[in-house]
Amino acid sequence: MEGYWKVHRVIGALYRLLTRLEISGAEHIPAEGGCLIVTNHISRLDTPTLLIAVPRRIYPLAADKYKHFPVFNWLLNISEAVWINRTEFDREALLKSIEVLKRGDVLGIAPEGTRSRSGTLQKAKPGVAFLAARTGVPIVPVGITGTNTMLQDFLHLRRMHICVRFGEAFYLPKYGKLTAEELDATTDLIMSRLAALLPPAYRGVYATTTVATGFAVT
C-alpha cells in the first residue's frame, strides 16, 4: 500500500512539472465502498492520469499486452492491476474484478477495451455492464482529454493541457444476471453518461446517444 502512494506522489510531482492538469468532479467518487470508475481511453497516459486524479486507491483493469512494456508493467504491478486478455473472454479477470469491487475497493475500466486512435469514443464492450450488474456498486464516469497530444506538445516544447472530468455517481436500474440484449443496452446507458462529460468532438459513436432516465443518482 505504501509503495502505491509513494508512486502516486512521484507521478503527481511529474504532472505538476510537465502538464497543466485540470481535475473537476472528484468529489463525486464515494469516500468508501466498492466503486467502478469508467473512462474513455485515448492514450497510454490515461492510467497514470487516473492514478493521481482519483483520491482513493484505484485498481486498474489492464490489457496483459502491457506486461511487455517495462515502465507500464512496473506501474501496473505497483497498482495491483487486474490483468485481462482482451483477445478472448477472460473469466478469471472478471472474477478478480468482481472481488475487488465486492471487498469495497475502486476498479478502473476503459469499456472500449483498447485505445482509440482517433481520440473519439468507440463501441464499448459489455464487460463494464456485466461487472456493474453483478456487484451493484455505484458507477462514476470520467472523461479525459489532452493525454493524446503528448508527442505534438513535446515537439512544440509546451506543457500538455490535460482535463479530467468526473460525473455524478449513479446506479443501474437493474442488477443480477442480464441477457445479451440487456447487457448491450446497459453498456450504452453507461457510455451515454461518459460521452456527456466529453466535448462533442470526442463522443464518436455515442455522439447522438442521450443520457437515459431510470438511473438512481447518489
Q: What torsion do the CA atoms of 197, 184, 178, 143 make, to the nearest 10 degrees?
A: -20
Does the structure show a pLDDT above 90 at 54? yes
Level-2 CATH architecture, domain 2-217: 3-Layer(aba) Sandwich (3.40)
Task: List the chain domain ranges.
Answer: 2-217
pLDDT for the residue numbered 67: 86
What percent of the chain has pLDDT above 90? 68
Report, as an integer, the average pLDDT of 105-123. Answer: 94
Which amino acid, 132?
A
Does the structure show a pLDDT above 80 at 140? yes
pLDDT for the residue numbered 169: 97
Distances, alpha carbon 71 to alpha carbons 16, 19, 65, 142, in Å? 20, 19, 13, 24
Is this model's pTM higher than 0.85 or not?
Answer: yes
